[in-house]
Structure formats: C-alpha cells, structure tokens
DNA sequence: ATGTAC
C-alpha cells in the first residue's frame, strides 16, 4: 500500500481523509510494516464503503485487513437504522464465521502421552473438508427449527449443555431470524452439513496456554499457563454461502430500484428499512443461527472424542464469538447513543468492561476476543477495552489475515511437506486435503503476533493469553 | 468462505 495517501495520526492509526463522494474518513489501525503489506485495493474498497448512505463516524480497517468481495476483510462500518444501508458483501460469504474456545480441564502433561491417538480420534470423529457431511440429516421442518433456534436448538437436540449457551453471543440464539426467506437451494446445501468444519482456514485445534499477559483477566476467563484448550473456527457452511450469493444478486437490483449509486457491484446493498434490506437481515440472522448450531454440534463431537481417550476431560466453553455479521447495536456517536447496524467482516466484536450483553462471569473485565492463528502459529485471547468503543465501535482483528493468494501459496508449498515439518515441531496436523494445507500454509498469512500487537497497541483490545497448537484438525 | 466455473 502507498502510505503517502494516508495521514498518520499515531504509530498505529492512519487516516484516509474523506474526499467526495466519501461521507466519512477511513481509519486504519496497523503498524507501518503491516500497512505496506496491504493491497491498495483495501483503500479503494474503504473509500467505496465510506461513500454509502447513512454511514457514521468512519469506515475502519483492522490490522489484519486485506481486500475482499466488495468490502475489505478486517473491515467495520456502521449505518444509521433509519437512513442507512445493509450490504451482503459487508458481511461476507461465510456468515457468522467465528471462533469458540473451550477449556479442557487438562494440562499439557495429560495430553502428551496420548497426543497421536487424540489427533486420530478427533480427525475420525469431526468431519472436515470441502463438502464434508455429518451424521445429522435435517428434514425441512427441523431445518427451520435449527435456523430459528441456533445453538439453543442444538442443545435441545442433545448436542452440548444448557450452560454452554450463556457463553455464546446472543445466548446462542439470534433473534429475528426468518428461515422462510432462505432459498430452498441454501437449505438443501445444508441438509447434511451440520456439525462439519468445512475447509479453508477452518479448523479444530488443541492448544496449550504458553503465556499470560494479564493475570486478572486470564483468571476471569479461567485460563493459566500450561492449560489445554480446544478452539473451533467454523461458520455457516453451504447455507451461509448460498444466502450471501442469493442476496448479493438481489441487492444489485435493490440498489438500482432505490437509486443507490454503486461504485462496485460487489458492494451491492439495500436500504435497511426497505423490504429487500429487511429480507436480507432476516435471512442473515437465520444463517447466524446455523453457524452457532454448527459450532455447538462440533463442540459435542469434540467432547465425545475427548471422553473416549481422556474420561477426566471436561470441555467447558469459555466463549463463542463471530467475526462476519451485521448487528443492531447502540453506540455513542458524538456523545449521543445511536442505534446502528454494525457490519463486521473479518472483524471481532470486542465489547469493553460493563457491557450488558456480556456474561456475568466477565462483565467486569470485558469480552473475550478470540483470535485464530494459522496452522502451526499461535492464537491469542484478548479482551475488549473501554477505549475500543470510540476507536472502532468496539471491534478488533480476527486472525492473521492472508498475505498471499491461495494460488500463490499452492505454487510455493506442498501440503505433505508442511504436515511433516510441523510434526517435527510437535504440532500434529490432520487434514483430508494436502492441497488445502498448502493453500493455508502459515507463510501465506501475515504474522499473527504483529497483528495482535497492533490491535493491542491501538487499544482495540488487550492481550490476555497466547496459545500454541498441539493438534490441528484442518478442513 | 464455497457442491473452489450453473
């Protein structure tokens, strides 16, 4: 990226000043090295988003930002409820993709002796890969119940425990879902895909806590050095993808109908208060429930695999947070509370201390912000800050962020070699697809530590713990 | 991300 187009406000804050047709500035949080790695298309896409009607304050880019479909991944934009727009491209193709992390009640010493067996057990028990299917088949009525009920539905079906629900955004069930506005094609694609990881950067990891940066917050989250955790990164699978496809197409027409100028067709949108805008929101909320139910079932499968080898294990959910959503939230804009639809695409909600939506257990310290690494690299747990509200509408990064295309990665790495190299470093990777492993090579991503350090330094969220992988089941 | 080009 050409940083001369930006005004540097501090070591970690850079502005793309608002010039017509932009209505608000673009604010990027990153260090100079991360910015230089970013494509200029990120700025172009930020300027396009900043030009949409009803946008407030600024369009934001997190330190892991890279260019995406219409709207940068690692982007945040909020629109007024009355005269703003909603965009399917602003949420992305994997609606409600997110991370959940569980404690296992075990330490590294418990895992080491049976690590190979555990990897094999998890790999056999948790479906992974493109088009992977599970043991659950949803008939139409059950599909609608799932889309309406989310993780709450999953728990009622016997996947997990009622106490899991308090540790999930929206208590595991997104209100306002409209399953009837999801196409039959989307439902058909999902019928056999519940409880599957999917592909790409999705995974299930067994991790050890190697460093704690903030003891007080770590205690509130229940993690300490040497603890073994399980993290799941997955989303709404074929259904979310189809919803995004269906509504992106529909929004091109809606934008035309309502006289919205589109700098890029991929940024198709509709007024929030229009029939089309409301239809997308209802369908998107149903897709959020699909992702929440999916991660809940995956949790159940992980528990079963652990119970078989380690009966002492007790997988307790720490938190589940999505990073591809558009949600109605109240934020302070110029000192006044306003109801806004906040698009976070590859950006994690990061509510600070005292937010009423947070579970009692950590309301005093702030929301856990779960940052996934890439195979063989660290993951982080951060916490939302009070200052994050004004800086980024309480949002932070979501992961390392790609630095290289999948195509480029395939030319540079071989999946089998990567698995062997990681194995030598004590990280067991199991994947149905060597090609998928090559596409997701750690070297194809930015340095997650640099990303997290930038989010920390910019005050978007603060570091709590560093996690290193032991086992990675890769989609 | 994705029945990785209906």
User: Which nucleotides of chain B does any protein CB come within 7 A of?
Assistant: 1-4
**Burial bucket for residue A404 (CB in 10 Å: 0-12, 13-18, 19+):** middle
Residues placed in the known binding site of A? 94, 201-205, 233, 323-324, 372-375, 379, 398-401, 474
C-alpha triplet A315, A318, A320: angle, nearest 5°: 110
Residues with Cβ within 8 Å of residue A109, at least 6 apart in sequence: none
- Judged by C1' against the alpha carbon of A193, the nearest nucleotide is B3
Instruction: Kindly report the number of other CB atoms within 10 A of residue A87's CB atom.
Output: 29
**CATH for A3-474 (3.40.50.2000, 3.30.1330.10, 3.90.1860.10, 3.40.190.10):** 3.90.1860.10
Maximum Cα interatomic distance, chain A, rounded to a whole number of Å? 64
Return the residue matching tokens 């602003």.
A90
Q: What is the pLDDT of residue A364?
A: 98
Query: Strands (DSSP E) along A220-273, which ranges?
Result: 227-234, 269-271
Round to whole Å and give the CA distance between A38 and A352. Answer: 28
Q: Which of residues 21-50 of A touch strand B (CB under 7 A)?
A: none
For the CA of A413 and the C1' of B4, the distance in angstroms is: 18
Binding residues of A for Mn(2+): 94, 202, 233, 323
Question: What is the Rg, in whole angstroms, of the alpha carbon atoms belonging to chain A?
Answer: 21
Give φ, ψ of A159 to 5 degrees: -95, 95
Q: Are A384 and A352 in contact (CB under 8 A)?
A: yes
Contact status, residue A160 vs residue A300, Cβ threshold 8 Å: yes
Q: Which residue is nearest to nucleotide B3 (CA to C1')?
A: A131
Cβ–Cβ < 8 Å for A121, A305 = yes
CA/C1' separation A8–B1 (Å): 33
Output the distance from A114 CA to B1 C1' rounded to whole Å.
33
Per-residue flag: A235 CB under 7 A of strand B: yes
Looking across all nucleic acid strands, the nucleotide with the smallest C1' to CA distance from residue A199 is B1
Over chain A (475 residues), the average pLDDT of each successive run of 10 is 96 98 98 95 98 98 96 98 98 98 98 97 97 96 98 98 98 98 98 97 98 98 98 98 98 97 95 98 98 98 98 98 98 96 98 97 97 93 98 97 93 96 97 96 95 98 98 96
pLDDT value at residue A376: 81
A432 CB contact with strand B at below 7 Å: no
What's the rounded Cα separation, in Å, for the pair A225 and A219?
11
| CA–CA gap between residue A466 and residue A378 (Å, rounded) | 7
Stated in angstroms, how far is A189 CA from B6 C1'?
Answer: 15
| DSSP at A341 | E
Give yes or no for CB of A237 within 7 Å of strand B: yes
Nucleotide with the nearest C1' to A433 CA: B4
**Does the nearest atom of strand B lie within 7 Å of A344's Cβ?**
no
Positions 62-81 of A with beta carbon below 7 A from strand B are 69
Which pair of structure tokens corresponds to residue A161? 């425990």
Q: Is the CB of A440 under 7 A from strand B?
A: yes
End-to-end CA distance of chain A: 31
Q: Closest nucleotide to A132's CA, by C1' atom?
A: B3
Report the alpha-carbon distance of residue A240 to residue A145 in Å, rounded.
Answer: 16
Indicate the burial class of A400 (C-beta count within 10 angstroms; 0-12, 13-18, 19 or more).
buried
Helix (H) / strand (E) containing A103: strand A98-107
Phi, psi of A182 (to 5 degrees): -100, 130
Tokens of A41: 């298309």
Among residues A67, A85, A192, A198, the alpha carbon closest in space to that of A136 is found at A192
Angle formed by the axes of helices A115-125 and A275-309, nearest 10°: 140
Q: How far is the CA of A121 from the C1' of B3 (A)?
A: 27
Q: Answer whether A199's CB lies under 8 Å from A234's CB.
A: no
Task: Answer whether any strand B atom is within 7 A of the Cβ of A241.
Answer: yes
Question: Which helix (H) or strand (E) element contains residue A338?
Answer: strand A336-345
Active site residue A398: yes
Burial call A103-115: b when 16+ CB within 10 Å, e when fewer: bbbbebeebeeeb
Q: What is the DSSP letter of A163?
A: G
Please state, in angstroms and rounded to a whole number, the distance separating the CA atoms of residues A171 and A164. Answer: 9
Catalytic residue among A103, A241, A300, A398: A398
- pTM of the predicted model over 0.75: yes
Nearest nt to the CA of A93 via C1' is: B1
* CB of A206 closer than 8 Å to CB of A111: yes
């Amino acid at each position: 990226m050409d940083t001369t187009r930006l005004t540097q406000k501090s070591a970690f804050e850079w502005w793309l000043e608002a010039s017509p047709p932009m209505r608000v500035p673009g604010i990027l949080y990153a260090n100079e090295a991360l910015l230089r790695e970013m494509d200029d298309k990120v700025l172009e896409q930020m300027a396009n988003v900043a030009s949409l009607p009803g946008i407030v304050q600024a369009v934001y880019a997190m330190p892991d930002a890279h260019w995406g479909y219409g709207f940068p991944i690692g982007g945040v934009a909020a629109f007024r409820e009355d005269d703003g727009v909603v965009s399917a491209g602003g949420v992305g193709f994997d609606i409600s993709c997110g991370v959940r992390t569980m404690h296992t009640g075990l330490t590294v010493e418990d895992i080491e002796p049976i690590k190979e067996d555990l990897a094999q057990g998890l790999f056999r028990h948790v479906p992974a890969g493109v088009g992977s299917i599970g043991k659950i088949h949803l008939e139409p009525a059950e599909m609608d119940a799932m889309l309406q009920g989310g993780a709450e539905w999953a728990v009622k079906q016997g996947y997990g425990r009622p106490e899991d629900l308090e540790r999930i955004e929206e208590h595991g069930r997104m209100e306002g879902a409209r399953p009837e506005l999801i196409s039959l094609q989307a439902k058909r694609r999902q019928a056999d895909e519940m409880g599957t990881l999917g592909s790409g950067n999705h995974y299930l990891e067994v991790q050890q806590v190697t460093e704690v940066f903030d003891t007080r917050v770590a205690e509130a989250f229940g993690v300490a050095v040497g603890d073994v955790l399980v993290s799941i990164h997955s989303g709404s699978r074929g259904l979310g993808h189809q919803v995004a496809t269906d509504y992106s197409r529909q929004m091109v027409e809606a934008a035309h109908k309502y006289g919205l100028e589109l700098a890029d067709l991929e940024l198709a949108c509709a007024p929030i208060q229009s029939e089309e805008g409301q239809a997308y929101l209802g369908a998107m909320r149903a897709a959020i429930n699909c992702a929440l139910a999916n991660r809940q079932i995956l949790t159940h499968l992980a528990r079963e695999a652990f119970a078989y080898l380690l009966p002492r294990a007790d997988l307790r959910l720490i938190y589940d947070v999505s990073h591809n959503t558009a949600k109605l939230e109240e934020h302070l804009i110029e000192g006044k509370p306003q109801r806004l639809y906040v698009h976070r695409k590859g950006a994690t909600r990061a509510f600070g201390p005292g937010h009423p939506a947070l579970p009692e257990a950590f309301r005093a310290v702030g929301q856990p912000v779960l940052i996934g690494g890439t195979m063989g690299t660290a993951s982080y747990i951060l916490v939302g800050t009070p200052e994050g509200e004004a800086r980024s509408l309480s949002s932070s990064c979501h992961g390392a962020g790609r630095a290289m295309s999948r195509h480029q990665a395939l030319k540079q790495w071989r999946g089998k070699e990567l698995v062997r190299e990681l194995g030598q470093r004590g990280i067991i990777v199991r994947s149905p697809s060597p090609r998928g492993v090559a596409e997701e090579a750690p070297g194809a991503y930015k340095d997650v530590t640099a990303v997290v350090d930038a989010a920390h330094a910019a005050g978007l969220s603060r570091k709590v713990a560093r996690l290193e992988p032991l086992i990675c089941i890769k989609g």
